[in-house]
Amino acid sequence: MKDESIKLSELYKAMDWTYKNYVVHQFSELESTNNKSLELADLGKIFQNEIIVAEKQTRGRGRNNRNWESPIGNLYFSLVLKPKITADKVHQISFVAISALRIAIEKLTKKSVENKWPNDLLIEKQKVAGVLLESKINQNSCEFVVIGIGVNINSSPDNTIFPATNLAAQGINFSSAEILKKFLDEFEIIYQNWLDFGFDRIRKIWLQKPYRINQEIALKIDQKELNGIFRGIDQDGNLLLEDNNLISKISVADVSR
């Protein structure tokens, strides 16, 4: 693993550093840390617990290829994992990651941070971070997972559908390295918990701080809007929406309100 890491840094002029079991490849600019991680993982040139960081991204992505505003000053990284799991469990890792990030930010900042389903973090009801999980599946088993995370540290866009914020605007000052390290501290505990005991533990951690639980929410699914009461998440991370005393399970949507 060490030899390959060195080759990678020579090849791409990345600056490398290590933290615990993790190797961090730090780039000044990339299209997207997820794109680079997916490309390298596919070529077999990046391994479990390696992280790609970029100081800025020129084509940062959210879910469904949406844009993730990525100017210099915020944190953008992707962590590569190779868990021995079946394809149906892969999406659970995004709840593991966002829960670790929430706890990390709460511990560092002493601010209350909420989970907006499925994997956004809110401070004062505004989005401060998001996760984009991507993976390669081969015959129903997972070859690798890329956990992409963006945290707004110094700036946030003001033209988003759901309001955005950043840590500086909330009076909080931490460097991207401090946030990344704290995330890794929390992630290694929660990830191991998930591997050992399954999703139920993660579900409970996620449900410690859900945005608008037992309140009216609006969901966007493609062009349609659904309204109902948010009743939490099920054993697989689906959103539970109550309408007319009926509960529906929603696997893909945006909570727009």
Give the helix ranges, DSSP H, for the chain.
2-12, 33-42, 92-109, 176-197, 199-206
Whole-Å CA distances, 76 to 29, 73, 100, 115, 206? 10, 10, 16, 19, 22
* Closest distance of CB 147 from ligand BT5, Å: 9
Between 26 and 57, name the residue whose CB sits nearer to ligand BT5.
57
Region near ligand BT5 per CB under 6 A, out of 66-74, 83-91, 203-211, 235-243: 66-74
Q: Which residues ranging from 120 to 139 are in contact with ligand BT5 (CB under 6 A)?
A: 120, 127, 130-132
Token digits of residue 36? 């680079």
Between 101 and 241, name the residue whose CB sits nearer to ligand BT5.
101
Which x/- pattern over 22-61 shows residues binding ligand BT5 (rule: CB under 6 A)? ----------xxx----------------------x--xx
* Closest distance of CB 44 from ligand BT5, Å: 21
- Sorted by sequence, the CB contacts under 8 Å of residue 102 that are 6+ apart come out as 113, 115, 121, 209
* Closest distance of CB 191 from ligand BT5, Å: 18
Between 45 and 201, name the residue whose CB sits nearer to ligand BT5.
45
**Could you give the CA distance from residue 178 to residue 176 in angstroms, rounded to a whole number?**
5
163, β-bridge pairs: none
